Structure 1
């Protein structure tokens, strides 16, 4: 009986004094937990660490790193879900890469694509399969090789679609949406450059102090071991960024530049999920609990404000408030949307992207949603916080967000 009481007490854990947080931090055998969350270094497209390899080679390297890091027989992985946006023939590439990397032919592979949230959608797909009893263990992967597969924008859309204003908005470049957000919500160029400089400064400090080493999995490409993000610009200041010309002069207020928008980048990330019961049976470290994920829609022309809608939606679903969240990882698609979302939600900037974001180290479209899990859990471990929210805007007018409970000491 005493042993049983001790077990129950261990699952309940110490009270935080906040009943909303205590409810989520309570431990149950069927919780969906993360036992591994890593990413590759991120390389600048066309000139960075992965510019001279193929898309397949980077995906294989990512899956090889995952196979090494997950700490279990790969035959125990019941499903692999890969989030990618631009990879041509992705179902072929994904299945072939998994076999080449050493996962058995008994482990199936599927591809998911919801633009910039694809990595998070891979995580959600695995979590749902486990929750529904379809699988025991699953690997979620986010991946993009924008060197080989650049984003060329929308294909030719149907005449019926293009006859509608919203259809025309769907065909516009993402830079246009950044200018729409800046103009409609009165975001200044100074605010945008200040956020971008902060992103680079925080990422530079994290890189110099070795923080990223705990989340980056070394991968070997063409005989070179890649372990360092190469897009971070040391010594970035708002004053330096202010000298850059607007990239979209045709769309006022033309405040979006190469310095205050996310970088075009190559990279991969992976997250291993299972139930708490299974993790304990296998003796694996539990990094976090996945609580819930949600996706929302909004007008395509202001797609960047997606997190300002998705975050309240996921907090409502999980019974939390903004004040209950210890850390936010919000994808920095553009500075305009970051400034808006932080102000609209009343977030403390000290809790947002504490080690920098995609403006500093890049946004490989399908990778980011999974990368944020690795980055966020690595960051919150150091502050001993409990509640992490990851979120992003999504092209063509969507947004997504997820809630995680940190269980690292």
Structure 2
């Protein structure tokens, strides 16, 4: 039976909006990662059957392939999310033998589409009112699950503390492909990690989407900053990995997508997790690490409350609140961080889940090899 394995998982450091990576075109950032994959693995890019690339703001995969100097025979397709899922399905089905999955985003170069009217008249009949907006959705999640501003800020401080500890302890080293900046300096660490924050400093921030006297709790401090960055995985089958002399990190054990209410839009990681556990035949106690997207603090907190997972296993190296949230690369970044953490800590099963547009989410279980 064919399988899908990850033989290398890399990401760039994540830059803040208008920060260090803002001067690098996302095609060039993507090409940098493709080059890094070949350098780390020694693979001939001519054997790659496809490059499946996520980008929330444009078609970039084919251009990145050519910019990396790879053969013109290597195609590339751009998706918004689920690049790794599509790659795994293609491997298992026999469509691919070797494939790259990942994504990129440059928040510095594109406007946030959230809240724009992207839905049309018929959608509006079913869901009347203002167009869905991620920030308002985060407020609705916090309200529905009863999270206070203090709880959200405490979680955010923890994300920064864990990310700083991971950075200082060298835990991001193997997953990072440092980037040479236009000024010739090397960026080898995530730009958004902040140390020394307190509840008082976070409490001084104004709410962004709903006024405090109207119950607003979401601020720039307990939401993820839009970021610039890319992540990529070289994937193949177990049999082909042996033929190519590659050592897999993990196998894609189970991959699912799920939908939920598109107005609160950020809650779908909960049913996606339930669905992937049910389909995998594993129970919650067998999962040794969880990566849950930190678009806003209420998202992982609601997930934690409903799923009942061990909080100490959640985002052990920090999350998007500290690292940043480059949309098209977010899913691959989660899985890259998870795969390396599983290898470092000898964890057999890990689960990653993240919300997508329209009240959707994907969830993936990796098995260490």
Please indicate the TM-score interval, normalised by the length of the shorter structure.
over 0.9
1:110 is matched with 77
Of the three residues 31, 42, 59, the one matched with 2:3 is 31
User: TM-score, normalized by length of structure 1?
Assistant: 0.86
**Per-residue deviation, 1:86:** 1.4
Unpaired stretches in structure 1, ≥5 consecutive residues: 1-28
CA RMSD across the alignment:
1.6
CA distance in 1: counterparts of 2:237 and 2:170, whole angstroms = 31
Do residues 202 (structure 1) and 162 (structure 2) align? yes
1:44 is matched with 16
CA distance in 1: counterparts of 2:5 and 2:15, whole angstroms = 29
1:186 is matched with 146
CA distance in 2: counterparts of 1:350 and 1:215, whole angstroms = 22
Note the alpha carbon deviations across 1:361-385, whole angstroms, 9 max, x for none.
1110010111111111121222211
Within 5 A, what are the aligned runs for 1:68-217?
68-87=39-58, 90=59, 93-113=60-80, 118=81, 121-153=82-114, 154-164=116-126, 166=127, 168=129, 171-217=131-177
Of the three residues 345, 362, 373, the one matched with 2:335 is 373
**Kept after mapping to 2: 8 A contact 1:61/1:220:** no
Note the alpha carbon deviations across 1:336-389, whole angstroms, 9 max, x for none.
122111111111111010000000011100101111111111212222111000
Note the alpha carbon deviations across 1:94-152, whole angstroms, 9 max, x for none.
21221120211111111112xxxx1xx11111111111111210000211111111313
Secondary structure in 2 matching 1:305: coil
Q: How many residues align?
A: 366
1:14 is matched with none
1:7 is matched with none
Of the three residues 273, 277, 280, the one matched with 1:318 is 280
Q: Which runs of 4+ in 1 moved over 3 A?
A: none
Unpaired stretches in structure 2, ≥5 consecutive residues: none
Change (3 A) 1:250 1:156: farther
**Kept after mapping to 2: 8 A contact 1:82/1:142:** yes
Note the alpha carbon deviations across 1:66-116, whole angstroms, 9 max, x for none.
3323421111111110111113xx1xx321221120211111111112xxx
Secondary structure in 1 matching 2:102: strand
- Structure index of larger Rg: 1
**Kept after mapping to 1: 8 A contact 2:288/2:350:** yes
